[in-house]
Amino acid sequence: MIKHIVIAAAAALSLSACAPYMNLGSSELDNARKAVADAKAAGAEKCAPKLQAEAVASLYWAAHEVTERGVHPDENAELIATAIAKANAARAKAIKGCTPEIIKLEGVYFDNDSAKLRPASVATLDKAVATLNRRATIKVEVAAHTDSSGSDAYNLSLSERRAASVRDYLVAHGIDAARLTSKGYGETQPIASNATKEGRAKNRRVELRVMN
Amino acid sequence: MRILFMLTALLAFALPAQAKLFTSIEERSDAITAELQGNNNYHANLARELASIASEEKGQHDLGAARVFIKMAEEEAAKAGGAK
């Protein structure tokens, strides 16, 4: 008797763990599934990660709602429409052009007109080391930028030396050199106006660009 | 007989713990948010979205669905590589 109870309890537990909470194969989701797959094929996971994630999440949610047939028909139609719209937007963005994922290094400071790292940069750079250790498969470019003060040539050279300096720090702290490249962009890629002090401070920056 | 009781007890206590049934959806969702702070890759975004759906489902008293979504969120978070 007890044996039967134990078997029945185990079976019930196993079945409840596999309850059909999702039906991704439902024909109601055909268009949404196709839109998500097309976006993925266009590179949306890399080029439009937020939009593609929103599309996939809406698809999964709709796949759950279809299992509750007739309970939330309006909500489900809206989820399917959202999945398609987001996936199409992600696909369009991916086709238009892919910018690499950027890991911002906020708080990297150098001596004036120099590539020598200030001690205040250590906390930020150690975080970067931890990130690269955690995401052990990514390869990154250390990209350094300047503001527009000074000549183009000088700024390019300074940014190259600063990028190399950060790369050296990462290598010295255990990151495989084969995973890292460095590049200086000088003043060519501002993210704010160089007309104001605040804008120039934003433009002087170092970031990691994920290359794979 | 004693072995049967021990096995039953093991099933009763180990399975829910393994499935994180003793940790609330909100706690698991908060852990994902904290873990992925500053991480904006695809898997991190999807993990956050799924955790949010889990909370919504729990709010609608669909605990089964909430558990499924939070588990999916945790799997995506693991793929995301953690916080930046």
Tell me the per-residue pLDDT of B31-72, one tens digit each, with 9 for 90 and over: 999 989 878 889 999 999 999 999 999 998 899 999 999 999
Please give the pLDDT value at position A19: 46
Please give the pLDDT value at position A146: 93
Tell me whether 0.85 is exceeded by the ipTM. no
- Structural domain contains residue A143: yes
Please give the pLDDT value at position A20: 76
Q: Which of A96, A131, A165 is the last residue of a domain?
A: A96
A107 contacts in B (CB within 8 Å)?
Answer: none
C-alpha distances out from residue B15 to B8, B21, B25, B34, B68, Å = 11, 9, 17, 26, 15
Q: What percent of chain B has pLDDT over 70?
A: 73
Please give the pLDDT value at position A96: 87
Q: Does A18 touch chain B (CB under 8 A)?
A: no
- The residues pairing with A9 across neighbouring beta strands, listed in sequence order, are none
E strands present in chain A: 102-104, 140-145, 180-184, 205-210
A60 contacts in B (CB within 8 Å)?
Answer: 50, 53, 69, 72
Nearest to B46 among A21, A56, A103 (CB): A56
Tokens matching residue A36: 């998500």
A129 and A176 within one domain? yes
Instruction: Tell me how close the Cα of B55 comes to any Cα of chain A, in angstroms.
Output: 12
Tokens matching residue A16: 């409840």
Please give the pLDDT value at position A207: 95
Please give the pLDDT value at position A113: 84
Domain extent at residue A138:
102-210
pLDDT over 60 at A101, yes or no: yes
Please give the pLDDT value at position B43: 96
Residue of B nearest to A128 (CA): B84
Q: How many domains does chain A have?
A: 2
A153 and A137 within one domain? yes
> Which range is least confidently modeled, A19-28, A47-56, A167-176?
A19-28
Nearest to A49 among B7, B45, B83 (CB): B45
A110 and A89 within one domain? no
Task: State whether the Cα torsion A57-A60-A62-A64 is positive or negative.
Answer: negative
A179 and A112 within one domain? yes
Q: Does A109 touch chain B (CB under 8 A)?
A: no
B53 contacts in A (CB within 8 Å)?
Answer: 57, 60-61
